[in-house]
Amino acid sequence: MAGPPDIVHAPRPGAEGLSEPMRSRWSTSVYDDQHTLTRDEIDRLLHAAQWAPSAGNSQPWVFFVCERGSANHERLVARLSRGNSGWVPRASVVFVTAAHVSTGADEDAPAYSDYALYDVGQAAAHLTLQARSMGLHSHQFAGFDHEALAADLDLPATHVLLTGIAIGVRGDAADVDERTADRDRRIRERVGLDEVARAGTWTQAWTEGWS
Ligand SMILES: Cc1cc2nc3c(=O)[nH]c(=O)nc-3n(C[C@H](O)[C@H](O)[C@H](O)COP(=O)(O)O)c2cc1C
């Protein structure tokens, strides 16, 4: 049984030693649907992504800004998966990310980088951490009809849609459906460093020999 939200969302073992804003970041599913962001705040989030590093400074990202109540927001909401349709629409803004993954037909079309997906993920991470440092919460998601939304947004064939990044402030769990409220109380888990870090070759776990 999950405890009250402040206990559930306290940093988990290994996260207590992190610096802010990583320490307190987690993906809430309960947003305040009255909160809005100013143009300046949205620009600051975009600037965090803009100044992320990328292979050869290729900057292979595009962000579709979907403010609640805007035409882009309507486009996105219509394409959400069932699981995401209960919580995503309440966020103040959603950035839908796209990556430049292939060269266009024109001879002088800009080249693309093999690291585009890596770079867009990193830009997204910077954006979410900037959000946290502004007192905001974020929750990334891939559950939407990518093909349909790409067509709705006139995405060129040189790009692919990747994710949405929902941003806002926490709302009241009483205002959302039970499934969404439950999701918000989930204990966050991670696999151990013994599985993800290596001290040498593949079979040598970083934590091998730890007592
Ligand atoms: C690429 C990506 C896709 C995701 N897709 C969804 C999604 O469709 N729906 C959802 O509720 N959460 C989604 N998430 C959120 C993850 O489930 C969440 O980040 C993970 O459980 C870790 O929890 P934390 O962010 O609170 O640390 C996604 C996250 C990423 C990075």
Q: Residue 2: what pLDDT?
A: 44
CA angle (175, 183, 38) in 5-degree steps: 55
Give the domain 25-196 fold: NADH Oxidase (3.40.109)
Window from 42-46, 95-99, 195-199 with minimum mean pLDDT = 195-199
Does residue 26's CB lie within 6 angstroms of at least one atom of ligand 1?
Answer: yes
Q: Residue 5: what pLDDT?
A: 56
Q: How far is the CA of 140 from the centre of ligand 1 (A)?
A: 5
Does residue 187's CB lie within 6 angstroms of at least one atom of ligand 1?
Answer: no
152 contact partners, CB below 8 Å, separation of at least 6: 75, 78, 79
Is pLDDT at 4 greater than 90 in this prediction? no
